[in-house]
Amino acid sequence: MSYQPPIGHYQPPQRLGNPGLGAGITSIIAAVLAPIAAVVSIPLGIAAVASAMSRYNEGNDSWWFGALILAGISVVLAIVAVVSGLIAVFRAGRMNAGRITGIIGLAIMAVNIFGIVFMVFLVLGSGQGF
């Protein structure tokens, strides 16, 4: 005869893992990559201005398009970092690895956000006059 515990004694199995950890790690990675993409877009914006000022390359706008693409990537990465950081913080029920990595990603983005916005405006400003 097998032993069956009373119905009131049943405990659901504990979930293993850290909810929100993947989102928190994504937030940190995106927060680190966003300013890199923004910084790389600045020399391309300068090359776009130099290309436009050159009389030999009047129609060469590929530098400016490359700078715009990188500036757009940095904005998208910044949005991904903030959204995934918020998901990690709110999904983690208690202070665990998911919540900690989400908070770290949000903190990195808080430091980076003004620099990214400034660099995107520099790139957009380099396209004035086209």
pLDDT tens for each residue of 64-84: 777 788 888 888 888 898 898
pTM of the model: 0.71
With respect to residue 4, please indicate whether it lies within any of the assigned structural domains: no
**Total number of domains constituting the chain:** 1
* Domain-located, residue 110: yes
Range of the domain at 110: 20-53+60-126
Residue 2 belongs to some domain of the structure = no
**Does residue 118 lie in a domain region?**
yes
108 and 32 Cβ atoms separated by less than 8 Å: yes
Domain for residue 89, yes or no? yes
Is 6 contained in some domain?
A: no
Condensed to tens digits (0 to 9), the pLDDT of residues 79-101 reads: 898 898 888 888 887 778 888 88
Distance, in Å, from the CA atom of 80 to the CA atom of 109, rounded to the nearest integer, reads 10
113 domain residue, yes or no: yes
CA distance 23 to 80: 10
C-alpha closest to that of 64 among 52, 80, 74, 79: 52
Contacts (Cβ under 8 Å, ≥6 apart) of 46: 126
Query: Is 79 contained in some domain?
Result: yes
